[in-house]
Amino acid sequence: MAGNSFGNIFRVTTFGESHGRAIGGVLDGCPAGIPLDLELIQKDLDRRKPGQSAIVTQRKEPDQVEIYSGIFEGRTTGTPIGFAIHNTNQKSKDYGHIKDSYRPSHADYVYDQKYGFRDYRGGGRSSARETASRVVAGAIAKQFLKGIEINAFVSQVGTLKMEKSYLELDLKTAEDNIVRCPDQEMAVKMEEYIKAIKKDGDTIGGVITCVATNVPVGLGEPVFDKLHAELGKAMLSINAVKGFEYGSGFEGVTMKGSEHNDPFNTDGSTKTNHSGGVQGGISNGMDIYFNVAFKPVATVIQGYQTIDKEGNLVQTQGKGRHDPCVVPRAVPIVEAMTALVLADYMLLSRVNKI
Amino acid sequence: MAGNSFGNIFRVTTFGESHGRAIGGVLDGCPAGIPLDLELIQKDLDRRKPGQSAIVTQRKEPDQVEIYSGIFEGRTTGTPIGFAIHNTNQKSKDYGHIKDSYRPSHADYVYDQKYGFRDYRGGGRSSARETASRVVAGAIAKQFLKGIEINAFVSQVGTLKMEKSYLELDLKTAEDNIVRCPDQEMAVKMEEYIKAIKKDGDTIGGVITCVATNVPVGLGEPVFDKLHAELGKAMLSINAVKGFEYGSGFEGVTMKGSEHNDPFNTDGSTKTNHSGGVQGGISNGMDIYFNVAFKPVATVIQGYQTIDKEGNLVQTQGKGRHDPCVVPRAVPIVEAMTALVLADYMLLSRVNKI
Amino acid sequence: MAGNSFGNIFRVTTFGESHGRAIGGVLDGCPAGIPLDLELIQKDLDRRKPGQSAIVTQRKEPDQVEIYSGIFEGRTTGTPIGFAIHNTNQKSKDYGHIKDSYRPSHADYVYDQKYGFRDYRGGGRSSARETASRVVAGAIAKQFLKGIEINAFVSQVGTLKMEKSYLELDLKTAEDNIVRCPDQEMAVKMEEYIKAIKKDGDTIGGVITCVATNVPVGLGEPVFDKLHAELGKAMLSINAVKGFEYGSGFEGVTMKGSEHNDPFNTDGSTKTNHSGGVQGGISNGMDIYFNVAFKPVATVIQGYQTIDKEGNLVQTQGKGRHDPCVVPRAVPIVEAMTALVLADYMLLSRVNKI
Amino acid sequence: MAGNSFGNIFRVTTFGESHGRAIGGVLDGCPAGIPLDLELIQKDLDRRKPGQSAIVTQRKEPDQVEIYSGIFEGRTTGTPIGFAIHNTNQKSKDYGHIKDSYRPSHADYVYDQKYGFRDYRGGGRSSARETASRVVAGAIAKQFLKGIEINAFVSQVGTLKMEKSYLELDLKTAEDNIVRCPDQEMAVKMEEYIKAIKKDGDTIGGVITCVATNVPVGLGEPVFDKLHAELGKAMLSINAVKGFEYGSGFEGVTMKGSEHNDPFNTDGSTKTNHSGGVQGGISNGMDIYFNVAFKPVATVIQGYQTIDKEGNLVQTQGKGRHDPCVVPRAVPIVEAMTALVLADYMLLSRVNKI
């Protein structure tokens, strides 16, 4: 209710500020008996962590997760899984310049207005550092969802848009390049473009596409907790996200019903999939796919004018070590949130019938 | 938890099938002391109701709301507001053709899979008839939100897209035409287009834009219940919605940080508003605006092939009285859901500080 | 969250004031496919209704429930069940004497303080009339819980306490007398005592005992939502309840561990049942039994001094038609709340393991 | 929903097993701006910790809390407060004897049934060790509740019952003896009795009474989330609790309405307080007081027969270092849970009116 929990049954609560002692969380409602491979958790954290390539922030954080509870003899026990990632690289002095002034298009101003003051170090709670906790919980969700495949990848950077359908590509190859785009030619262009943006001290937006396959029929809780509505909320809760569309999305607006409808095959599957795997808010067994729009990171390494707490105009300059484009590191976050929604809705679907 | 409630404190629970005895709901958590104008509730219901113009379904339903509790001497009492709308025009026989077969891109198939069987009359619970209950609750929310203005309007039908910014238009004039588009010239084109689509027995998608002004700074509950994430979920929970974007949205992807950032004025407002009135998930006092994409209605009055419960191919034809384009009637629904989110988050913001 | 919903998955939300148009509710999360016998619902309502015998209030209310949704062809559909009971016997004038003064040990004063004003007619929302909605939902829960037996009965009125163990009695015979006590001799004494109390214009307290048998092992969600904790909350939420104890209860305090521990039989059952069917917050398969203490009804038909809204002392007199002892009519309410808890926890237990 | 969170807005989620790496939790919804004295938190932990006196378990655990987030420059920030207590004294070998057999009246059997297996070390999640996390959260709640006094104390051990009313005693003096009973003479008797019980290798039950003063009028969310119902659930969720009563409680059953009703003073206070500070589920400004019954600890240091996983009878003996009587150490836990309920309901009461 106070905003730091996600999920109904399979439910994660996170805590932690960018430059506090630790971030972490509690995953409650995870069923007992799941064999947990801790290395898979760390692997997803490594995909998200800073410093992993030339096109992401060069901060160094090991992001080593410690699990405190809920696992016994290698399996989940059904009790809450508490975990923490200690912050080790807290250069608080880097952020002195934002203590008294509000960076444009950051959360500085609204946090001060809402709470009366704020932990200004590195963005505090509004920093995307918080998403590391989501990745931990999501990695556990993935192991519960055995058999369901979730693959997210970068499909657009600025105006560079992958034109191929995801069906023509091997999505696993997204991990073969540092942009995380499964179209290798496009990936090269995107990488070059991000490097140029970085050189200018500027930033650029992007789109992540996510595909979930082998999702069983029947997930979704109409009328308010429709599967795609919860997925949408999950995605929009990620830092810098400005939009969400699934299936035909905004393009579908221009189609006629006679074109848009997905005809059935005799096994209940459909010949086309404009629906994006969800009908009436309930999964229909087809691939679930959706796009997530990320704005350009607000921190630009350029001089700019802004205001301080008293409303005076001040001249300042972006500092710190930030990402020129957030999407390559956001891929595992999108997957994690998708896994959390699916795990929760898998459990919810167990109570539909007598 | 079972999907039919929305909101945390200001919380509506709805019930009802398209062709049951009644639809309705309970609005809990509405603060005491709000003077309620019942005619304003009915007025919003009338904006949503079928049969109101030449471009919507010609079903006739009076949609008269009865309020059972929670109001005394013209004011809310702080106790739950129970209400019902009796169904009067239940031509169940119209729907005999869908009893045993699954209409493409409808919820028939997934409801049967999820629950084992379904109330097939008129779509049952998956019918957009349910949204009338949302309009009732939203109309009460609007009266609680006195001072905040919420205006939704049709900004696109098929490929006909309003190019003017909402800032150039008087949004109240959207009600002057049956499309509910505030650009009167565009409205004429849209109306003609919808009529042509209807004549073909086909349907078309559209976009609704919603603008909320005078929203106070500080609404939003990061990290998961960000204001725009909850708005996104609210919109995606409406029948036929395929996408949501706020502020710069999907377009923002192509912008650089140096262009996208909104510079501050000395009073804390911003010179531009790519942020769409929300920073870090918290309202910043600027206009909140967002777009909602609706797919073409699935029911087309044309012959088509589909499958029955046993998986046999059957030839059938759309019947019933359906909307050629859903957006004109969905305008008050978008407003209602926006009002419900804002009312809930207004209350949540009361507990932020000591 | 605003107090008018109960349950996690199997969740009822109620509305309605004593003298409003109707009371009712929505039951969400009820699994699909339950064959519902509507007469059983009405039967439980009749056990609760006023005017049923010489020792209860002589108000006449038919308490006829109308079900609006969620049932199709005699079975639950998995969608929310909306229902209402219209108020027919609203002698509002009977309550003019409480409009401006606060009855001692009633909720009049606190409602005015909390909400700024109140619907004073017949106690408004604080009237036990609201519990009729619980009985409807509970009667549906009972039908879901097929195989589990829930029997509540009166075990104490004033100082008249049934000394026999419930194991020695046929609990079904509680319905054979108007007190609802399965010890027929004691029932006679209790009935006479209540009649004498009534003649004096006074009221008296009582205890209801409830026994649930055939409850499967494994219901309960530690550490906060232990089965007995939720049962306790359910009971304490009923009007006039002052205490709850399960198993050995307050008596258990005086026992030594060596006496109190329940030794196992080889099948996992126990030789004694001081635990009351719950270990560590989880059902263990033995009978669940507990006691619920009800205070004497506050409305006495005697003159008394009290204060008005301005804090002036005023002399007044209890009027209206009230119960001299609340427990006979509260028996079906205790059963209903027990059924609601068990139904919810049955569903919750489906998600414990992979 | 999965049982490890408590509270609506002011909401704690706990994790941790008796012999895992750490226990801890997340407190979400704590308002910003509370100056936090960390020593007061540790002080309450010390009142709960083992080894503090001759009548409690002699295990040694420092129970040092680490706070990871949510506090900046000495004040709460409105963001979640994550904390952990590392387990240092994990003599797992002490518990080998319970790995394969089920201790009577412990949770061993039901955990195995519910989850398929269990962390058997020291009771795992069912150990009262978990309550240390509640004490941390409760100690923060107390600091938010500045001005409200919460005093719990031991009022009964076995049949030794304090006969004086709490109004005759200085409740603060409960901390002057190791039993935590404010009646010093009775405390001596209780201490001797517990020592004798301990010598026998047996255990005994007890009652804790809790009094909250200066609670404002208006806390409580009828009809289900009445203040006393939530307090009851909070208490019943504590290990070993078997009963809860407030105000006149079970004794009130024997009173007549004319005796039990609390007459008003002209300022809205009442001359008597059989209501225990709560009317109709809402605080009325009078002292809130209630009793909590604890059963004798199940672990007795005596030989006993029980069953193993296969249902074979086995002879075994209680080992480990356990409390002969749980109430002295449970006093701060009762206070903590009371503080959590009051803090949550203080926040909820902010949204009652426009």
CB pairs under 8 A between B and D: 37
Residues of B in contact with A247 (CB under 8 A): 242, 295
Determine the residue among C10, C17, C113 to mutate to test chain B binding: the one whose Cβ has the most chain B Cβ atoms within 10 Å. Answer: C17
Task: Name the average pLDDT for chain B.
Answer: 95
Q: Which residue of A has its CA nearest to B314?
A: A266
Task: Determine whether the interchain pair A353/B4 forms a contact, defined as Cβ–Cβ distance below 8 Å.
Answer: no
D32 to chain A nearest CA, in Å? 6
Q: What is the pLDDT of residues B80-132, one digit of tens each?
A: 999 999 998 665 566 666 788 999 999 999 999 999 999 998 889 999 999 99
D350 to chain B nearest CA, in Å? 7
Strand partners, D86: D22
C-alpha to C-alpha distance for A26 and C321, rounded to whole angstroms? 53
Residues of D in contact with C222 (CB under 8 A): 3-4, 107, 125-126
Determine the residue among B6, B12, B17, B76 to mutate to test chain C binding: the one whose Cβ has the most chain C Cβ atoms within 10 Å. Answer: B17
Q: What is the pLDDT of residues C45-92, one digit of tens each?
A: 999 999 899 998 888 888 999 999 999 999 999 999 999 999 986 655
Residues of C in contact with B80 (CB under 8 A): 2, 4, 13-16
A216 labelled as ligand-binding? no
C-alpha to C-alpha distance for C221 and C227, rounded to whole angstroms? 7
The pLDDT confidence band at residue B317, using thresholds 50, 70 and 90, is confident
C-alpha to C-alpha distance for B89 and B63, rounded to whole angstroms? 10
In terms of pLDDT, which residue wins out, A312 or C95?
A312
Give the closest residue to C323 by CA, choosing from C345, C296, C344: C296
B126 labelled as ligand-binding? yes
Amino acid C94: pLDDT = 61
Amino acid C174: pLDDT = 98
Determine the residue among B129, B235, B260 to mutate to test chain A binding: the one whose Cβ has the most chain A Cβ atoms within 10 Å. Answer: B260
Task: Determine whether the interchain pair D207/C253 forms a contact, defined as Cβ–Cβ distance below 8 Å.
Answer: yes
C-alpha to C-alpha distance for D251 and D289, rounded to whole angstroms? 14
Give the DSSP per-residue string, C180-191: --SSHHHHHHHH
A321 labelled as ligand-binding? yes
C129: left (phi over 0), alpha (psi -120 to 50) or beta: alpha
Amino acid B122: pLDDT = 84
Instruction: Name the residue facing C31 among A31, A34, A354 (closest C-beta).
Output: A354
Q: Which residue of C has its CA nearest to D349?
A: C114
Residues 6+ apart with CB under 8 A from A91: none
Domain count across chain B? 1
B297 labelled as ligand-binding? yes
Amino acid A100: pLDDT = 84
Amino acid B152: pLDDT = 98
Buried-state track D53-90, b at ≥16 Cβ within 10 A, e below 16: eebbbebebebebebbbbbbeebbbbbbbbbbbbbeeb
Q: Which residue of C has its CA nearest to A79?
A: C222
The pLDDT confidence band at residue A89, using thresholds 50, 70 and 90, is low
B275 to chain C nearest CA, in Å? 31
Amino acid B240: pLDDT = 98
Instruction: Name the residue facing C203 among D226, D257, D283 (closest C-beta).
Output: D257
Give the DSSP per-residue string, A120-156: -GGGGGGSGGGHHHHHHHHHHHHHHTTT-EEEEEEEE
C-alpha to C-alpha distance for C220 and B219, rounded to whole angstroms? 36
C127 labelled as ligand-binding? yes
Amino acid A90: pLDDT = 61
Average pLDDT over residues B57-64: 86
Residues of D in contact with C244 (CB under 8 A): 232, 236, 243-245
Residues of D in contact with C276 (CB under 8 A): 242
Contact (Cβ atoms closer than 8 angstroms) between residue B181 and residue B158: no
Biggest distance spanned by C-alpha atoms of chain D: 68
C-alpha to C-alpha distance for D59 and D57, rounded to whole angstroms? 6
Task: Name the average pLDDT for chain A.
Answer: 95
Measure the CA dihedral B66/B67/B73/B78, to 10°.
-170
Task: Determine whether the interchain pair A256/B218 forms a contact, defined as Cβ–Cβ distance below 8 Å.
Answer: no
Predicted complex ipTM: 0.97
Residues 6+ apart with CB under 8 A from B108: B98, B101, B102, B118, B120, B123, B126
Two structure tokens written together for B56: 């919507």
Instruction: Name the residue facing A70 among D13, D15, D66 (closest C-beta).
Output: D15
Percent of chain A residues topping a pLDDT of 90: 87
Element at B346 (helix H, strand E): helix B327-348
Q: Which chains does chain A touch, 3 or more C-beta pairs < 8 A?
A: B, C, D
Beta strands in B73-181 (DSSP E): 75-76, 81-86, 101-102, 149-157, 160-161
The pLDDT confidence band at residue C319, using thresholds 50, 70 and 90, is confident
CATH code (residue A45): 3.60.150.10
Amino acid B93: pLDDT = 63
Average pLDDT over residues B274-295: 98
C-alpha to C-alpha distance for B218 and B222, rounded to whole angstroms? 11
Q: Which chains does chain C touch, 3 or more C-beta pairs < 8 A?
A: A, B, D
Map tokens 């064999």 to a residue. Answer: A35
Q: What is the pLDDT of residues A150-191, one digit of tens each?
A: 999 999 999 999 999 999 999 999 999 999 999 999 999 999
Predicted confidence pLDDT, tens digits, chain D (354 residues): 689 999 999 999 999 999 999 999 999 999 999 999 999 999 999 999 998 999 988 888 889 999 999 999 999 999 999 999 999 866 556 666 778 899 999 999 999 999 999 999 888 999 999 999 999 999 999 999 999 999 999 999 999 999 999 999 999 999 999 999 999 999 999 999 999 999 999 999 999 999 999 999 999 999 999 999 999 999 999 999 999 999 999 999 999 999 999 999 999 999 999 999 999 999 999 999 999 999 999 999 888 889 998 899 999 887 767 899 999 999 999 999 999 999 999 999 999 999
Q: What is the pLDDT of residues B172-196, one digit of tens each?
A: 999 999 999 999 999 999 999 999 9
D352 to chain A nearest CA, in Å? 17
Task: Determine whether the interchain pair D297/C257 forms a contact, defined as Cβ–Cβ distance below 8 Å.
Answer: yes
Residues of C in contact with D130 (CB under 8 A): 223
C-alpha to C-alpha distance for D81 and D77, rounded to whole angstroms? 9
3-state class of C282 per DSSP? strand
Structural domain containing residue C339: 5-351
Two structure tokens written together for D179: 């039993």
A239 labelled as ligand-binding? yes
Task: Determine whether the interchain pair C79/B4 forms a contact, defined as Cβ–Cβ distance below 8 Å.
Answer: yes
CA C227 from centre of chain: 17
Amino acid B320: pLDDT = 65
Map tokens 């504590």 to a residue. Answer: D238
